[in-house]
């Protein structure tokens, strides 16, 4: 601990005291810091996986991931939803030389943990470790990836745990909205509209897990990303050695999806949750994929609409009206169709009034409420100037670089980002709002206390109400 001499403080006070401080003047910002995007090298390892290494030596930390292009929506069948995530968990259950407890003990003693996940369109296995523990942790990861044994009794235990979690989720308003919303957006015949259910979890066999592992985890569709306190040249040798038993094979899947059902006219899908203190809202429609040329305009538009605290939706529905603790909007992007979603949790008695305000703001951004200079410049500044914070940690840098690879974005993406966002005009904002927020065909999912909210919602005249169960199936009126 060092202590500043009191005299320095006194001196500063004196200097400040000599001028009258005008507190009503906002101190102007200093010079904008230069954007420092991390650099990386990209090569290929023996088994065909890409390797990206970004060195960062200020702390003894390493972030390591293997990311697979493709996910549950490319590698699962409709009747076996959940096999991807079960397989991910099963990698923890033992290898040919270590049972589940031995794996756990080894990782505990290394002071780290290995996480495995398979999502909709990508999967990953990885860890963060101290520099000293990196090679040993990597060896365990390779063992889990290449030599899993998938014990049958572990599958039964995991199945039992998952069934409890699915049961618990039936009482969770956001979990319900999270199942019903994609269902009404994409339909039951689209993979995005097919959730994991009790039926699919019960249908998963050990053979399914073995087959999924074999089909999915292949180096030909993988990128290995290493960020942190390593040397690019040396770490390549270490990784090739560790992954020597991971056989060649696999290629990036085609992301072909069935076409979306024709959009219904605007409908309120009401899921009854008797006695709920709040109504959970999800309003929107399918969106464009990540590679849309309108990406930057959409980012700016959404920031103005519902991407920040002082965005229109939150400023109105939370700050001005007090109907909610917070509402927002956003676009989810991937290889397939994305989603636009506006929503939040609304006090039950104001469900109707809040819906009116949501609709007002969605119409507003589409042109009825012009975008101001202030809104446009603040949205752009916010988006552009938040970039450096992404590069503060080894995990953050890893995510930022790996995304370029999974989404096939250019290597100078972050260098170009500011100019691309900066070029967005007010006209662009209104154009993409009109194009991607389809006011005639919005799906409005509301999970709440039907007895008290149905009549007021109906009285708004905004859209007809269809009552559904918690899976999004029509249950009549």
For other proteins, the closer CB: 26 or 254: 26
Nearer to other proteins, 181 or 246 (CB): 181
Pairing of strands 324-332, 338-347: antiparallel
Integer angstrom CA distances of residue 127 from 67, 149, 394, 398? 12, 21, 11, 11
Beta carbon nearer to other proteins, 18 or 265: 18
Q: What is the CB-side half-sphere exposure of residue 423 using CA atoms within 13 A?
A: 8
Pick between residue 20 and residue 477 the one whose CB is nearest to other proteins: 20
User: How far apart are CB 236 and other proteins at their closest, in Å?
Assistant: 24
* CB of 230 vs other proteins, minimal distance in Å: 15
- 231 vs 10: CA distance, rounded Å: 48
Check: CB of residue 339 under 8 Å from CB of residue 185. yes
Query: How, if at all, do strands 338-347 and 222-228 pair?
Result: unpaired
Residue 146 CB, shortest distance to other proteins, in Å, is: 16
Q: Which residues pair with 269 in a beta bridge?
A: 445, 466
Shortest reach from residue 81's CB to other proteins, in Å = 5
CB of 285 to other proteins, least distance (A): 13
CB of 56 to other proteins, least distance (A): 9
Q: Which is nearer to other proteins, 240 or 393 (CB)?
A: 393
- Of 119 and 249, which has the nearer Cβ to other proteins? 119
Q: How far is the CB of 219 from other proteins (least distance, A)?
A: 21
User: CA of 210: how far to CAs of 199, 333, 364, in Å?
Assistant: 20, 30, 52
Question: Is the separation of the CB atoms in 133 and 112 below 8 Å?
Answer: yes
Q: Tell me how far CA of residue 53 lies from CA of 22, 130, 449, in angstroms.
A: 50, 16, 52
CB 286 within 8 A of CB 185: yes
Is residue 26 within 8 A of residue 12, CB to CB? The reply is: no
Do residues 286 and 341 lie in contact, with contact meaning Cβ atoms separated by under 8 Å? no
Task: Pick between residue 170 and residue 241 the one whose CB is nearest to other proteins.
Answer: 170
């Amino acid at each position: 601990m060092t202590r500043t001499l009191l005299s320095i403080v006194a001196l500063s006070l004196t200097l400040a005291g000599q001028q009258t401080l005008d507190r009503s003047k906002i101190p102007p910002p200093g010079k904008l810091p230069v954007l420092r995007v991390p650099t990386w090298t990209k090569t290929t390892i023996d088994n065909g996986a890409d390797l990206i290494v970004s060195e960062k030596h200020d702390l003894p930390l390493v972030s390591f991931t293997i990311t697979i292009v493709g996910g549950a929506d490319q590698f699962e069948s409709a009747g076996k939803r959940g096999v991807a995530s079960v397989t991910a968990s099963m990698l923890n259950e033992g290898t040919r030389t270590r049972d589940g407890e031995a794996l756990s003990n080894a990782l505990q003693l290394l002071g780290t943990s290995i996480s495995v996940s398979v999502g909709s369109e990508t999967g990953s296995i990885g860890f963060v470790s101290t520099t000293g523990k990196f090679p040993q942790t990597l060896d365990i990861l390779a063992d889990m990836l290449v030599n899993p044994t998938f014990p049958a009794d572990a599958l039964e235990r995991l199945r039992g745990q998952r069934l409890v979690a699915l049961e618990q989720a039936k009482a969770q308003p956001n979990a319900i909205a999270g199942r019903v919303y994609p269902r009404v957006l994409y339909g039951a015949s689209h993979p995005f509209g097919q959730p994991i259910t009790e039926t699919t979890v019960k249908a998963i066999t050990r053979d399914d897990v073995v087959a999924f592992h074999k089909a999915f985890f292949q180096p030909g569709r993988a990128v290995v990303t290493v960020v942190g306190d390593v040397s690019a040249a040396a770490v390549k040798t270490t990784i090739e050695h560790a992954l020597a038993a991971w056989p060649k094979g696999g290629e990036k899947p085609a992301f072909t999806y069935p076409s979306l059902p024709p959009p219904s006219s605007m409908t309120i899908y009401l899921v009854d949750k008797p006695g709920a203190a709040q109504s959970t809202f999800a309003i929107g429609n399918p969106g464009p994929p990540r590679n849309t040329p309108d990406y930057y305009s959409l980012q700016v538009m959404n920031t103005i609409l519902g991407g920040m605290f002082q965005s229109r939706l939150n400023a109105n529905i939370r700050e001005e009206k007090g109907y909610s603790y917070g509402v927002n909007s956003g676009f989810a992007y991937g290889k397939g169709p994305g989603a636009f979603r506006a929503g939040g949790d609304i006090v039950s008695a104001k469900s109707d009034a809040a819906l009116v305000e949501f609709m007002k703001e969605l119409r507003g951004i589409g042109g009825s409420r012009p975008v101001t200079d202030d809104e446009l410049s603040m949205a752009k500044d916010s988006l552009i100037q938040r970039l450096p914070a992404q590069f503060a940690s080894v995990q953050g840098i890893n995510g930022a670089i790996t995304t370029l690879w999974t989404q096939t974005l250019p290597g100078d993406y972050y260098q170009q980002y500011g100019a691309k966002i900066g070029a967005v005009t007010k006209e662009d904002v209104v154009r993409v709002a009109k194009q991607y927020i389809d006011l005639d065909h919005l799906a409005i999912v509301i999970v709440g206390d039907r007895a008290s909210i149905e009549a007021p919602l109906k009285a708004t005249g905004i859209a007809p109400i269809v009552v559904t169960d918690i899976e999004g199936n029509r249950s009549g009126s």
